[in-house]
Amino acid sequence: MNYDLFIRALAFAAEKHRDQRRVDAEARPYINHPIALTRVLSVEADVHDPEVLCAALLHDTIEDTDCTEEELRREFGDRITSLVLEVTDDTTQPKQVRKQRQIDEAAKKTPAAKLVKLADKICNLRDILRSPPPKWTLQRKQDYFDWSEKVLAGLRGTHPVLEKLYEELLARKREL
């Protein structure tokens, strides 16, 4: 494991997300989310590719902060930047277009990007079950689970442990 690269990515993500909070009921610091993805990949799924783990830490920097592709490429190189770009939504598009694009493009992603995407969805489902955004209605939470399942269809065959975790969470939809 390239710890220097990993620590640089962690510090970079923490700085970029420093003023952000999650929209969950507790308004947790945003950086907890990328750290959770990295934990899912490394601890729960035994994924130890340093570039995949760095991409997990950085996965929302372009989408949700002032970070640019050029800045990420300069700091972390082509592969990590490419992975981040693969899982980044085009925020200039309407939300429904972005959501449909995630469904349509899931199967076309590289295996490494699929790992990050699976971990992201796992963490989001866990957050909705544990501490949903206070303004989300039951219907919105159920809709997220339903949409997420459509994204999963395109990610199948990527990693059996991640897929099992994902399916276990989908089965908990009735707990909403």
Active site residues per annotation: 63-64
Tokens matching residue 164? 């099992």
- Give the chain's end-to-end CA distance (angstroms, integer): 38
**Whose CA is closest to 142, among 173, 169, 171?**
173
- As given in the structure block, the two tokens for residue 27 are 């308004």
Please enumerate, as own/partner, the contacts of 159-163 that have beta carbons within 8 Å and a separation of 24 or more: 159/45, 159/47, 159/114, 159/115, 159/118, 161/44, 161/45, 161/46, 162/40, 162/41, 162/44, 162/45, 162/115, 162/118, 162/119, 162/122, 163/118
